[in-house]
Amino acid sequence: MARRRVWLGFGLLAAALGSLQSGPAAGAEGDAFNGRLLFAQCRLCHSLKAGETKVGPSLHGLFGRRAGAVDGFDYSPGMKDAGIVWDEASLDAFLKRPKAVIPGTKMVYGGLGRAEDRADLIAYMKQALKK
Ligand code: HEC
């Protein structure tokens, strides 16, 4: 039993590495599996469950929502006044360089440099938030 789990783990790892190597070939849709691995860094500060606040606000219902709109979360003024609605394009720009899109943001995260990684991450978030 334990042995089987190790092999399953190895299989998942191999799949993950494969998707990292495939690069842009992963397609415009993004690779949600790689995105799930990337989301581990976001998970430190964000939950996908409604009403669960960590260092950052819950990302539940993110797509189509105005930036800075989770009730009771103490956003930076920049985020509250950003006038952004979160969709694939605005999220992509924000995740590339948070400080460039929202000056003075409280989100301490340098940014995700690779476009493919951002596409994968967004694909995962869309999938995970649909459930
Ligand atoms: C160190 C903690 C931290 C990490 C890591 C982090 N965030 Fe954040 N995030 C925050 C905080 C704090 C805010 C509120 C920012 C503000 O008010 O300026 C925020 C805001 C956001 C928002 C806007 C939410 C809204 O309600 O408008 C999104 C989207 C977001 N983060 C996505 C992500 C994603 C995706 C990742 C992973 C790549 C990530 N964050 C990593 C802390 C973090």
Taking the chain (131 residues) in runs of 10, the rounded mean pLDDT of each run is 56 54 54 97 97 97 98 97 97 98 97 97 96 68
Q: Does the Cβ of 13 fall within 6 Å of ligand 1?
A: no
User: Residue 25 has what pLDDT?
Assistant: 44
Domain boundaries along the sequence of the chain: 2-130
pTM (2 decimals)?
0.84
Q: Determine the pLDDT at residue 29.
A: 73
- CB burial string 56-66: b at 16+ within 10 A, e below: bbbbeebbeee
| Ligand 1 near 84 CB (within 6 A) | no
Instruction: For ligand 1, pick from 36, 39, 44, 46 the residue to mutate: most ligand atoms within 8 Å of CB.
Output: 46
Q: Whose CA is nearest to atom 38 of ligand 1?
A: 42
Query: Can you give the pLDDT at residue 94?
Result: 98
CA–CA gap between residue 36 and residue 20 (Å, rounded): 12
pLDDT at residue number 40: 97
CATH of domain 2-130: 1.10.760.10
Q: Is the CB of 108 under 6 A from ligand 1?
A: yes
Burial of residue 99, with CB atoms counted within 10 A of its CB: 0-12 exposed, 13-18 middle, 19 or more buried: middle
- In the prediction, which pLDDT does 26 show? 45
Q: Is 22 in the pocket of ligand 1 (CB under 6 A)?
A: no
